[in-house]
Amino acid sequence: MQVAAFIEQAIAAGDYPPGGRLPSGRDLAKRLGVALNTVQHAIRHLKDQSVLVSVPPRGVFVASADLATKQSADDAEIIRQLGVIQEAMETLTQRVAALEQLIGGTDPEAGE
């Protein structure tokens, strides 16, 4: 939590501006005299709080309105695509059940 607080203070001081890239985890660990794992936990915590954003493979950045908007748009697109896939799966399930009934004389409602 101390490392997370340090990063938040550095952001507030303008050391890492919105949209700015954080130093690598190794660099932060060396600078702060802590283990890399400690820095990784702090970064994960700040990402969960939407203070930081990961942009693979570019690195970890201070969240900005632009990054948050892009991430929200990406999430919305993924949700839309999942809805399309779900509809297609339901249609295919119905078609397979109908074909099974025609071929084998089974009752699709019985789940045979």
DSSP for 41-63, written as a single string:
HHHHHHHHTTSEEEETTTEEEE-
Asked if the model's pLDDT at residue 111 lies above 80, the reply is no
Task: Let me know: does 66 contact 74? Beta carbons within 8 Å.
Answer: no
Burial label, 47 (beta-carbon count in 10 A; 0-12, 13-18, 19+): middle
Residues 39, 26, 64: CA angle, nearest 5 degrees: 60
Asked if the model's pLDDT at residue 28 lies above 90, the reply is yes
Tokens of 38: 């400690």
Helix axis angle, 25-32 relative to 36-48, nearest 10°? 120
> pTM score, two decimals?
0.55
List, for residues 54-81, the tens digit of each pLDDT value: 888 888 999 875 555 555 566 667 777 8
Question: 42 pLDDT band (50/70/90 cuts)?
Answer: very high
pLDDT at residue number 43: 92
